[in-house]
Amino acid sequence: MKRYSTPFGVIKSVRQAYSGSSVYITNEQGHEVMMSHKFPYVNGVFERCKKAMESQDEVNIITSTFTNNWSSAKYFCDIEEK
């Protein structure tokens, strides 16, 4: 599995319809990406996204090629602080 780190900037919004559902984050430029609900740790990433948004920290989004060649333009599987 390869993991790719892509600059995303400051998270301006984060949403999850209900616990265990997909997570959507949007940056300052209005770019939105989604984390699939199929990841077992989706709720933990949701909480980290909320904390990053509250602290206004710039983040990178992580994509992987574990199950498919996911595009960082649409999807993410984790975040990391810059």
Number of domains in the chain: 1
Q: What per-residue confidence (pLDDT) applies to 66?
A: 59
**Whole domain around residue 44: which residue ranges?**
3-81
Find the CATH number of the domain harbouring 44: 2.40.50.70
pLDDT digits (tens, 9 = 90+) for 14-72: 999 898 899 999 999 999 999 989 888 999 999 999 999 999 999 999 987 655 555 66
Name 7's Cβ contacts closer than 8 Å, sequence gap at least 6. Answer: 58, 60, 82
**Whole-structure pTM value:** 0.88
Q: What per-residue confidence (pLDDT) applies to 76?
A: 93
β pairing state of 32-35 and 3-16: unpaired
pLDDT band at 82; cut points 50, 70, 90: confident
Q: What per-residue confidence (pLDDT) applies to 2?
A: 79
Phi, psi of 48 (to 5 degrees): -65, -35
Q: What is the DSSP string of 6-51?
A: EEEEEEEEEEESSTTS-EEEEETT--EEEE-TTSTTHHHHHHHHHH
